[in-house]
Structure 1
Amino acid sequence: MTTYQLGQLQSLEAEAIHIIREVVAEARNPALMFSGGKDSVVLLHLAILAFRPAPVPFPILHVDTGHNFAEVLAFRDRVVARHRLRLLVSSVPEMIEDGRLREPAGSVSRNQLQTSALLDAVNKHRIDALFGGGRRDEEKSRAKERVLSVRDEFGQWDPKDQRPELWSNYNGLLDHGQQLRAFPLSNWTELDIWRYVQERGIELPPLYYAHQRTVFERDGMLFSDGPYLPRGDGEQPRTESVRFRTVGDMTCTGAVRSSAASVHDVIAELRATRCSERGAGRADDRISDTAMEDRKREGYF
């Protein structure tokens, strides 16, 4: 009898596709969080594989802070058109304009407002299961997550109120009012993502690769010079070769100096670095050791 052993990336792919199908089988109205970042791009690619040749049977949801990179929005719209996806957008600027959200005085980043925008979209569209591209290697609160993370009727997360997932058995049944967050990429690493992008020839937004960009330095991080993040005294703009390891609100997403202009170069660079992607590229995660966990308890992804 001939046996066939899956490679590491094939095993991760098969596991993720299995999780996606299981959730869709149980949920009434699922959706997939899509930021245009590499993890959500890979997650969408897996969802397409899971149901082809049929179309993806659920919409994708983008929480728009109004401070997005133009390259990422253009990429998002290309992906939606190419795969004929249904796009839901929950807009933080619209919620501020109509009074549903208040921007704190003196605040620059709108990342903290994403939670309300996300929960508003969940309620508006009656979403009971949301797929996200979170990985356990990203950040310590992510490492506490189950693959299927149960949330209460307010979308809040309690790490002590999660179901065991022994032997990779997943329980997607929900009590009245509960919601589900599903993380099919839980067991992937940043390097796995990039190796998979290389192997499958997946397109990513261009800012993930080295390019010349006008930046300024603040607290040891390089920020893109633009209209959303005012420069302070002494913060002089300069042009450097940079790339982004993570994509988010422009006001808190930092670049890294890099000459990695291809997937091959990025993988080589990652093998040599010892700094996590969020540690290198997210200012809001530097504010507090529990910043992400606090946001997740409030309902953030």
Structure 2
Amino acid sequence: MTAVAPTATELPTGGAPHLSHLDVLESEAVHILREVAGEFENPVVLFSGGKDSIVMLHLALKAFAPAPVPFSLLHVDTGHNFPEVLEYRDRVVAEHGLRLHVAAVQDYIDRGVLKERPDGTRNPLQTLPLTEKIQSERFDAVFGGGRRDEEKARAKERVFSLRDEFSQWDPRRQRPELWQLYNGRHAPGEHVRVFPLSNWTELDVWQYIAREDIELPGIYFAHEREVFQRSGMWLTAGEWGGPKEGESVEKRRVRYRTVGDMSCTGAVDSDADTIEKVITEIAASRLTERGATRADDKMSEAAMEDRKREGYF
């Protein structure tokens, strides 16, 4: 496959052993996963069924094979997730015998702790369920699939990112990470967010998926779907509040570049129904997947950074 980087078994001109850029990224991520396993007592992996968390789980399976993954999984369920993604999540958890913690936004709404937003999106409501679950389960390290190429606030973050006792992020407390030396020290009540895919790009992720033959939910590939347009994005109709009056539903051939709450995750017009076609499409794109398809990041100039300071990923 021409779009996929060569593996370590291939030799460049001259016959010297060579590591591809995917081998280097994989090695770095595996090192981070093992570092956390050795340094922390109760880590957890955020797993939504999205492509980045799928790759992160795949890396964890490789890092500790043939032993089981020494981490449980955590999903913050907005109640507005794509059914295809939830089905994939549950199937993978059962297949590998993993433990899944679910923090449900709907529970907080039912208790009156959180209120529905006028726009119907629940992504900004995930912070409280996430932080309370971290505190109640006493997780001291939380793996996230965030990458620096996604969004400018995420570009500021270290691989090991300290959170205070309120799960809040202070950019001024960033620690140096020279020579891949990671400082996981934290006070009681604090925890560390860990990002093994920090140095990956969207293209790297897809090339790795192709190389490792990793299964993904079908919505990442072109398919026919009923959608409506809002703020320049194609959204899926649902109980969350769409479409509104004047917003007409039409059937289009689309796919999703990222997966989140149905109310703020837009589809893109696409004929890319194979991994090879997706890689070609992404290579030609000049917008990150969040910049192109996530309405929650467009609420303000600093929307993501504001949420990260409050405890969001």
- 2:74 corresponds in structure 1 to 61
Superposition deviation, residue 104 in structure 1: 4.3
- 2:20 corresponds in structure 1 to 7
Deviations 1:107-147, CA, capped at 9 Å, x for gaps? 41111110001001101111110000000000000000000
Tell me whether 1:289 sits opposite 2:301 in the alignment.
yes
Superposition deviation, residue 272 in structure 1: 1.1
For 1:34-45, list aligned pairs within 5 A. Answer: 34-45=47-58
Letter matched to residue 170 of structure 1: Y
Q: In structure 2, the residue corresponding to 1:160 is in which secondary structure?
A: helix
For 1:1-301, list aligned pairs within 5 A. Answer: 4-99=17-112, 101-104=113-116, 106-301=118-313
Q: Which of structure 1's runs of 4+ aligned residues deviate more than 2 A?
A: 2-5, 104-107
Superposition deviation, residue 3 in structure 1: 6.0
Superposition deviation, residue 263 in structure 1: 0.4
Unaligned runs of at least 5 residues, structure 1: none
Q: In structure 1, the residue corresponding to 2:45 is in which secondary structure?
A: strand
Deviations 1:197-222, CA, capped at 9 Å, x for gaps? 00000011100000000000011110
Letter matched to residue 91 of structure 2: R
Q: With structure 2 as the length reference, what TM-score do the two structures score?
A: 0.93
Letter matched to residue 95 of structure 2: R
Superposition deviation, residue 226 in structure 1: 2.1
Cα pair 2:119 2:241 within 8 Å, conserved: no
Aligned length: 299
Q: Find the aligned partners of 2:117 and 2:46 in 1 and give their Cα distance.
A: 29
Letter matched to residue 186 of structure 2: L
State, as a whole percentage, how many aligned pairs show the same letter: 58
Unaligned runs of at least 5 residues, structure 2: 1-14
Superposition deviation, residue 58 in structure 1: 1.2
Q: In structure 2, the residue corresponding to 1:145 is in which secondary structure?
A: coil
Identify which range, 89-98 or 237-246, moves more after superposition: 89-98
RMSD, aligned CA: 1.2
Superposition deviation, residue 94 in structure 1: 1.2
Q: Find the aligned partners of 1:144 and 1:257 in 2 and give their Cα distance.
A: 31
Deviations 1:244-295, CA, capped at 9 Å, x for gaps? 0000000000000000001000000011111110011101111111000000
Identify which range, 73-82 or 4-13, moves more after superposition: 4-13
Q: Find the aligned partners of 2:225 and 2:117 in 1 and give their Cα distance.
A: 30
